[in-house]
Structure 1
Amino acid sequence: MNDDGPDVSGYIGHHLTNWQIGEGFWAIHADALIVSSLLGALFCFVFWLAARHATAGVPGGLQNFVEMMLELIGGLVKETFHHKNKLVAPLALTIFVWVFLMNLMDLVPIDVAPDTMHALGWDYFKILPTANMNVTFGLSLAVLGLIIVFSFKYKGAGGFAKELLTHPFGPWMAPFNLVLNFVELLAKPISLSLRLFGNLYAAELIFILIATLTLGFGTAWVDMLTSVGGLSLLFGQIVLAAAWAIYHILVIPLQAFIFMMLTIVYLNMAAEHH
């Protein structure tokens, strides 16, 4: 805090800045890479542990949970993807659980990760990977690659080329069809990434804004707890943060579900013959 009051803009900017290694296009956001990798490893370990201790007798809680997830997502894939492919169901499960775990980091108190890492010597650290465009766009680019692979697999090179040139207005409009299909192809990963990024970035920003309500007191908790204004701000902050967190408990799995379902739909569209 400076003499003119709390540095709200500096506080917001600090919490929205990634731990960056390097400069320019090839810069790496190390915090997003570390957190997303650890969460992916956690997901793999938990499901591996469930498979390792699976039993045909009375299943434990972890086995019940994993079997429920497999049945639920397997059923959704059967209803949505109308072709035979052993990759789609595991892919859908991976997308849902991994994105869900990354979204879940938004419920970690907003100052915990930056303050902890600052104490260890790092000035910046964002614990929410899906509030980083690099992460969401990277996921959507992987989906785009699979869309192209599925198009070649189910239609062949000739069939895919024919679709690009003749759909939807026939062979006489081939140049226009190609441009239209190219735009549609690029719109899929862009919409996937922006939807996930936008929702989680906005949620994180609101948590940060709520945290600024008591920023003016800094570490002077005694002043806050012994003044009417300080107690009012603290109470308002707790109520607003709790309400937003409760609402966000619904948003976190919903955004993971939408990303998963759209991926399945796009892959099914890629496999369909027009």
Structure 2
Amino acid sequence: MSAGAGPQTASEYIVHHLTPLSVGHGFWSVHLDTLLFGGGLGALFAWLFYKAAANATSDVPGPLQNFCEILVEFVDGQVKDSFHGHNPLIAPLALTIFVWVWLWNFMDLIPVDLLPALASVFGVHYLRVVPSTDLNSTFALSISVLFLVYYYSIKVKGGSGFAHEVLGHPFGIKAAPANLLLRIVEDLAKPISLALRLFGNMYAGELIFILIALLPWWVQPLLSWPWAVFHILVITLQAFIFMTLTIVYLSMAHEDH
């Protein structure tokens, strides 16, 4: 609950749940809850897969090894279908993005009042627990993908080859200004679409859970459980889309014409 006394109105309740724990102001503000949960979930992913690899056996595998092997085979299949170059980094990167984004999204299934109420006991009055509902995190991830696209485009094609692709496609080198303008629009659209698609879907899902929490207690299970079951599909689909588009963009970067 908020630091102020007295009951909250519906609008105050919604605004309270959508306010991040941050320091600083404006552009220079840092969302501590996004860093905490995003970093913590990343560490959880790394620890689980490290434990599965360390305890891997050729005998009857345990549940964790089975689960990790299923994920690795699934992602490897997607990379083989969508990536047409040769780069040993792509499959681990795709696996990291899929699992990490899925864990981000999964936090949306935790009851909206549970972790904020626990945090308030320790004097923390604002806490957003879903990193993918923060534009800072979704844009940071999508911009990182864009940097990788530029890096491999230059590495594979060379500086002159990359410049020729930017200035000469699709209308030929004589239309370089128009080609450059189209390339700028295309490159801006990639991180924006990646970030906003993930953010928009997860923000809407979180808002629906908050609205359900405003209803009488006896109505909440009738709506929250069906929405949670449907939302499992949403969070998985959003992680899959982010991973697949990352693979496709990097595959395009490796195409040397």
Question: Above 0.5 in TM-score?
Answer: yes
2:35 corresponds, among 33, 36, 59, to 33
Using the TM superposition, give the Cα deviation of residue 236 of structure 1 relative to its aligned residue in structure 2, in angstroms: 2.4
1:186 corresponds, among 185, 188, 191, to 188
Give 2:4's aligned residue: none
1:261 corresponds, among 219, 244, 248, to 244
Secondary structure at 1:124 match in 2: coil
Give 2:3's aligned residue: none
1: distance between equivalents of 2:35 and 2:28? 14
Q: TM-score, normalised by structure 1?
A: 0.89
Unaligned runs of 5+ in 1: 215-233
Give 2:234's aligned residue: 251
Give 2:72's aligned residue: 70
1:17 corresponds, among 16, 19, 29, to 19
Does the alignment pair 1:117 with 2:119? yes
Using the TM superposition, give the Cα deviation of residue 115 of structure 1 relative to its aligned residue in structure 2, in angstroms: 1.2
Counterpart code for 1:86: P
1:199 corresponds, among 201, 205, 208, to 201
Secondary structure at 2:208 match in 1: helix
Matches within 5 A, 1:1-274: 7-214=9-216, 234-274=217-257
Q: TM-score, normalised by structure 2?
A: 0.95
1: distance between equivalents of 2:79 and 2:11? 45
Q: Please tell me the root mean square deviation across aligned C-alpha atoms, in Å.
A: 1.1
2: distance between equivalents of 1:59 and 1:241? 36
2: distance between equivalents of 1:110 and 1:76? 34
Secondary structure at 1:235 match in 2: coil
Give 1:231's aligned residue: none
Unaligned runs of 5+ in 2: 1-6
Secondary structure at 2:214 match in 1: helix
Counterpart code for 2:189: A
Counterpart code for 2:214: T
Q: Which runs of 4+ in 1 moved over 3 A?
A: none
Using the TM superposition, give the Cα deviation of residue 162 of structure 1 relative to its aligned residue in structure 2, in angstroms: 0.2
The structure whose Rg is larger is: 1
Counterpart code for 2:183: N
Deviates more, 1:54-63 or 1:181-190: 54-63
